Amino acid sequence: MYSIISENEDSYFCAVKGSLSSPAVYKPKNTSVSVSPSGEIVEDSSVTLTCSSDANPPVQSYTWWYKKNGGGYQSMTGPQHVFSQIQSPDTGEYYCEAQNEMGTDRSRTINMDVKYDPKNTSVSVSPSGEIVEGSSVTLTCSSDANPPVDKYTWYFQNKTFLNGFGQIYNISNFQSKDNGHYHCEAWNGRGSRNSTALMIILPGKQTVLTAAVGIIVVLLVLILCFSGLMWFRKKASKSISDTRDTSENVQGDSSPVYDNISGMTMTSTAAQTAATVDQDDVHYASVHFSRFKNQEVPLYSTVQLHQPQKQDQDVQYAAVKFNLPSSATQPTVEQAAEEDSSVLYSTVNKPRTKKT
C-alpha cells in the first residue's frame, strides 16, 4: 500500500523484484477537442465537438465549458456536443475536462467562429430631424455579417447610384429632385442582403402629398356613404313596391268605378216634347259597394274603393226616368242655356251576404 498525492507524479506502477512491472496508472492527459467537419463553420450547418483524453484507468466523465458572445461560462457533460443547426449566437469559446480516479485534465480553448451572410441590413439618415432644402444629408448603411461586409451598394428609386459604393452616402445639397426611396445592399463573402426602403422627402412636398392622400380618403368615404344611401333607398323602394303588389293581389279584380250619368240637354222646346212623347231616357249608374255596412259610396267621375280579399263586386243598375217639363212651364232658351245639364247621383246601400 502506498499513499500518493496526484500533484506529485503523473503516473505510478509497481513491480516484483526480478519480474516484470505492472501497467502504469495515471490521471487523464493529452486532453483535446476536435471539430467536425473541419474548416469553416457555416450557419445552419451541423457541427460536432468531441473531447478525447489518455487516462488509466479510463476517463470516467467529460465536462464541457463554454461562453458565448462574451457571456459567462456554462457547462454541459458528455464526450461530444452536437449542433444540429449551428447559429451565429453559438459563436464563442469552448474547452473540455476529462476526469478519472487519478485526477482531471483540461483541453486547450478553441474559438467557434460561425460564418453567415449579411442580415438586419438597415439605412439611417442624419440629421434625423426635419430636412431643409439645400442642407447636407448623410445616409449610413449597417448590417450584421460574418465575415464583415466588404461592399455596399446604394439605390435610389430602385436604380443603382453611379457613385454609391460605400457604407456612407452623402447628399451635400438636398433638393426636391432628391426626394424618394433609398435603400442599400450589403455584401460579404457568403452573400448579400437588401435593407428596407427609406423615404426621404422635403417637408413642403410631404405636406402636398399628405393633403392629396387626405383628399383621396375623403372622396372614398363620400363615395361609400353615397353608395350606402342609394342602396338603402333602393331597398326601401323595393319594400314599398312589394307592399303595393301584395295589396293589389289581395284586392283581386277590383277596379275603379266610374259613374257616367249625363242629363239630357234641352236644346229646344220641340226636341224636349218629342223626347217626352216617344220614350223615356234610361241612365245607368255603376255602383261599387264597400265592405262596411251602411257606408255610402259617393259617385264621382273617378272613385276607387278598397275591397276585401274574398268579396266580389256587385253592380246595381238604377233606371232613372226624367220627367221633362211641359211646354207651358218650360224655360226659355236663354234660361236653358244658363242651366247645367241634369246630373243625378245615386247612393245605394246594400249589405253584403257572406257566400257559403
253 CB-near residues (< 8 Å, 6+ apart): 313
Question: Taking the domains of the chain in order of start, what are their residue ranges?
Answer: 11-112, 116-200, 204-231, 251-356
Q: What are phi and psi of 337, to 5 degrees?
A: -65, -35
Q: What is the pLDDT of residue 352?
A: 55
Same fold, 11-112 and 116-200: yes
pLDDT tens-digit map of 320-339: 455 544 444 445 444 444 44
* The predicted structure's pLDDT at residue 210: 59
Distance CA 163, CA 156 (A): 12
Cβ-proximal residues to 44 (8 Å cutoff; 6+ apart), any chain? 85, 86, 87
- The angle subtended at Cα 348 by Cα 343 and Cα 353, nearest 5°, is 155
Q: Both ends of the chain: CA-CA distance in Å?
A: 134
Stretch 284-307: mean pLDDT: 46
List the alpha helices (DSSP H) in 49-110.
none
Q: Which CATH architecture has domain 116-200?
A: Sandwich (2.60)
Express each pLDDT in 249-279 by its tens digit: 444 444 444 444 344 333 444 444 434 444 4
Instruction: For 212-227, write each residue's pLDDT tens digit.
Output: 677 888 888 889 888 8
**Would you place residue 165 in the very low, low, confident or very high pLDDT band (cuts 50, 70, 90)?**
confident
Joined together, the cell numbers standing for residue 267 give 236644346
Which residue pairs, CB below 8 angstroms and at least 24 apart, start in 320-323?
320/282, 320/283, 320/285, 320/344, 320/346, 321/280, 321/281, 321/282, 322/263, 322/264, 322/280, 322/281
The more confidently predicted of residues 209 and 185 is 185
Residues 36 and 110: beta-carbon distance below 8 Å: no
The answer to whether the beta carbons of residues 32 and 98 sit under 8 Å apart is no
Task: Output the CATH code of domain 11-112.
Answer: 2.60.40.10
pLDDT in tens, 77-127: 999 999 999 999 999 999 999 999 888 999 999 999 999 999 999 999 998
> Highest mean pLDDT range out of 84-93, 129-138, 304-313?
84-93
Q: What is the signed CA dihedral for 68, 71, 76, 78, rounded to 10 degrees?
A: 40
How far is residue 171's CA from residue 258's CA, in Å, rounded to a whole number? 92
